[in-house]
Structure 1
Amino acid sequence: MNDTTRPALLYLVHRIPYPPNKGDKIRSFNLLKHLAGRYRIHLGAFVDDPHDWRYREDVARLCESTCLLPLRPPLAKLASLRVCHGPWPWDSWPRAWAPWCSSTGPVCRSW
């Protein structure tokens, strides 16, 4: 989807919003559908279920660009323990999306 008349929007969600079969995915998907009618969506999300990779094209149809990163729940839980013994762990996800964000242009530069 490429329509330069609509403003661009960076939409970051913690899990791929498709298929909308669970509470958080239903909410994220409905919001994505709503926003896609008004904005050029640049979606960043984690994929924590290997079976969800087959839905990347379904999500991509609603977005101008997507960045889907694998997330292994057991390793993510282990990595989250850093919050107890070090700097705030949220600084790691911007680094993971940095190459994609830099390619989306001014959408991420203001972020």
Structure 2
Amino acid sequence: MALALAEATAPVAPPPALQFSFWRMAAFKSRAKQLGCGAGSLDGELEAIRKQLAKRHGKEAFAWPKTPSSANQGEGDCYVALMVYRTNLGDFKREADAALAIAP
């Protein structure tokens, strides 16, 4: 009985493509922050998705990765950074929704 309960609560390994997409999103979030862009609403949406995925797949699978400083990447344009972030967040949300819709 205890073994069955432990198996039911064990996190399910995330699809590799979904985890890679999350790491990409973490890079977009980091870049927008480093540029000083106002990405609070996008960050909030990303965090909500991350929490759902972490609940299903475990905290370690969707922990925020350490992203390298982009100090050597020069200046950037907030409009472009936020547009790329927003577009990719929509794709990531669709991927996450599809993965969460599948029964564990």
TM-score, normalised via structure 2 length: 0.28
Identify the structure with the greater helix proportion.
2
Larger-Rg structure: 2
Quick one: higher RCO (CA 8 Å, sep 6+), 1 or 2? 2
Identify the structure with the greater strand proportion.
1
TM-score, normalised via structure 1 length: 0.27
